[in-house]
Structure 1
């Protein structure tokens, strides 16, 4: 990598050294000197070559990784990411032929060409921004970000598990349930009894199980309060299971408890208190206590969907509702769709003691196991080995970089407001003026970028302001810039 020697970092000042290294690598990628898949020098070698401290290069590589320009892997050379915007072909043709990764390769390896390849930005995203559709609808995390060695080790553990002439436990493998309980103790402030942890096929299945348990316990269709706007797939799962839904408005502090109390008797309330979906508000502790007191006094079950609590970008972590629950009313729902891969279709429910939770256990047992045992073994290995925690630390940094880019690009744009940026993997952009969300979504799609209209999450028409939801979990920073350019252009402010 002699090309790096062409620009020495100024050693006379400490301030700005990291930024100079970052800028130099970015420029070399953009002008085609470095191409997708090229290896960068080790941090130690580049530090010697540039005459800077190794920590400066480490910090630069971390920033470039977080921005999506390069991918770093422990024990392997940092490489230029697939899908970043680069210059034309090199004059010498170097890098024109690259070994394609075989189908089924582990996340973190270079993807093979074809539909959906590239940086993992979701279905239909090609390898060259500007030439293929960029899917920025919410729901896809950075699936390819996990270290390949950790991913492979998890599936080796699944393959090495002894074969058994038996059915899986419908409540979930004990090792996975124990790993989930330990992780919650570390990250969410409560360590549940393993016997109260159920493995489920994702959040939607968890919610349908709760409805089934309530229906069997009550002998009628349960009335369930939901946030408006809120999680539409969860609403579909609950109505399919026989629930009658009651929309409750949300404000800047999450679900409106006064409006909930005025909505009439309900059997359960489902909410996303840590990062309201999709508007992003965080329910403060005082309101959480009010909600729990109301639920205990009325005998109402509280279903806490803790869907992306691992990704807090701003402010102090807020305790889970389950950590504050002294009356045994909270059913805590979580999963691996936002932390690893939604295609695993694996989540969990943590139940308190009581008749309704017992009915949920009975419903789970009656349905039989839904998550394949090898998937459960692999997830248990990721938890037990610490690989999941390492992965979360890595992608949390990456997501924070993307959140900061959105805030920087949209800050000060007249008439626009960026919401939901305190955590999670999506942003909500709202505006004043006559433009409808449907029209903006259509114009953005015409520019090759897919986003979702905020009105799609409404229970009652008109409950949400004009806006769109943009998922950024799987985007590189250059792809995110492209998406924001398309959105601003669709709004006529780009």
Structure 2
């Protein structure tokens, strides 16, 4: 490379940080910096330009969030692969051009076809995952001596201890490793609890579910024997405890998402959380708290988990590392309360079915928690998600007739629409235009009822593709509202 990588102008009124971002982006789009090229360390580039190192760190972070750079812990920052090779005349606009979705009948997309931008919720980004630490953890797990005894039903003691420590720092939950049960993600945890409830109840349990709410969990409950799921209305904060109290007879359990109601995004106030626990104690019912993305709070401090407020042994915490790291890991946990009947029932189910998480995965996850990789990844991902959240607000907020909500935490947003027909039209229109989103009606616990709108995730696509996709979402919503 001839000449300096960057120059900065201290005589003008453009902030140095903006100049750094634009200069690096221009170098990538022009082809001067190519895929895989290493960038100077933040310290050396800051010294070369005579700027604060924090300015260079912020510039690298922003460009990593936009998808131009790959930042890996312990490795050089490199230019990321772009969706299409840039031309010398490529503009410095990070928005990607429109993409065509693959037709329903297509089996193999040709070279001329582009992959759709997937904005369906539930897809975290792995761009900030420390690849070196990830590989090292799995190598260490593979090298470990193979135990000659039966894998523990509740999971390895070391992993359970690390999860308990993680929860103490991340959620303020004080629990013993003996309280923790390792699961193969949220669906396995819900299935395990459904089977345990049948034992506790001595028959078919009734389980309250949020309306709208998490459809996969609802289906798992029904398939595992909670044959009657009872819809419970939610308001702007989350589940309505008065609506729960009105159900007679009271359900044996209720599945809730109090930290970030799924999908509407409400956050249950502390007073309502205490009210919910009071109902549980009075009804001798369990509260199953799905704490699916509480690590990513964007507005206001995190509220205490129900498990940390429970004093009567009725709150079960369900957690997963799918949103924190990757859904491919399929690893999560339960935190059981001091409830002898429930613990005995869970132990009986696990005695028959055993822990479904392979020992090598448990060992690797133990190492990732113990060496701080998970904690560092959450901090880095939180910054990226906050930046992408701002892109969503800039693109979609303020559309008359299509309120934007659900953005205080987590990895998705909700765009309200006046009717289910309008939402279906927008979903189909966007799919034809290369953007995949989900209709809010898919979360309804009562067919044909509930609010209408779109649910879209913003965590997975790099900013360079997210910005263009959001432009198409705004256009499709506007067209639907106009007629």
Normalising by structure 2, what TM-score? 0.90
Kept in 2, the 8 Å contact 1:85–1:129? The answer is no
1:240 match:
223
1:31 match:
30
SS state at 2:234 partner: strand
Alignment of structure 1 residues 320-469 onto 2, 5 Å:
320-354=305-339, 355-432=341-418, 436-469=422-455
Match of 1:220 among 203, 208, 211: 203
Hey, what's the Cα distance between the residues in 2 that align with 1:125 and 1:186?
47
2:147 match:
164
Cα deviation, 1:161-200, whole Å, max 9, x if unaligned, reads 1112222111100010000000011111122111111011
Alignment of structure 1 residues 61-460 onto 2, 5 Å:
61-83=60-82, 87-88=86-87, 131-243=114-226, 244-264=228-248, 265-354=250-339, 355-432=341-418, 436-460=422-446
Segment of structure 1 superposing worse, 63-72 or 258-267: 63-72
Hey, what's the Cα distance between the residues in 2 that align with 1:249 and 1:463?
11
SS state at 1:87 partner: coil
Segment of structure 1 superposing worse, 379-388 or 475-484: 475-484
1:100 match:
none
Hey, what's the Cα distance between the residues in 2 that align with 1:147 and 1:3?
32
Shift of 1:129: 12
SS state at 1:400 partner: helix
Check 1:85–1:321 CA distance in 2 against 1; reply closer, same or farther (3 A cut): farther
Check 1:393–1:27 CA distance in 2 against 1; reply closer, same or farther (3 A cut): same
Hey, what's the Cα distance between the residues in 2 that align with 1:14 and 1:325?
55
1:112 match:
none
SS state at 1:490 partner: helix
Kept in 2, the 8 Å contact 1:36–1:82? The answer is yes
Shift of 1:446: 0.3
Shift of 1:159: 1.0
SS state at 2:82 partner: coil
2:46 match:
47
Cα deviation, 1:246-265, whole Å, max 9, x if unaligned, reads 00111111001111111221
Pairwise CA RMSD: 2.5
2:103 match:
none
Q: Which runs of 5 or more structure 2 residues have no equivalent in the other structure?
A: 91-106
Check 1:466–1:57 CA distance in 2 against 1; reply closer, same or farther (3 A cut): same
Cα deviation, 1:343-396, whole Å, max 9, x if unaligned, reads 221111000122123212221222112100000000000111111101111111
SS state at 2:478 partner: coil
2:102 match:
none
Segment of structure 1 superposing worse, 483-492 or 146-155: 483-492
Cα deviation, 1:110-161, whole Å, max 9, x if unaligned, reads xxxxxxxxxxxxxx999x9982222221122113431111101110221121
Segment of structure 1 superposing worse, 295-304 or 164-173: 164-173
Hey, what's the Cα distance between the residues in 2 that align with 1:489 and 1:196?
50
SS state at 1:396 partner: helix
Hey, what's the Cα distance between the residues in 1 that align with 2:358 and 2:420?
49
Segment of structure 1 superposing worse, 229-238 or 357-366: 357-366
Segment of structure 1 superposing worse, 406-415 or 236-245: 406-415
Hey, what's the Cα distance between the residues in 2 that align with 1:209 and 1:77?
43
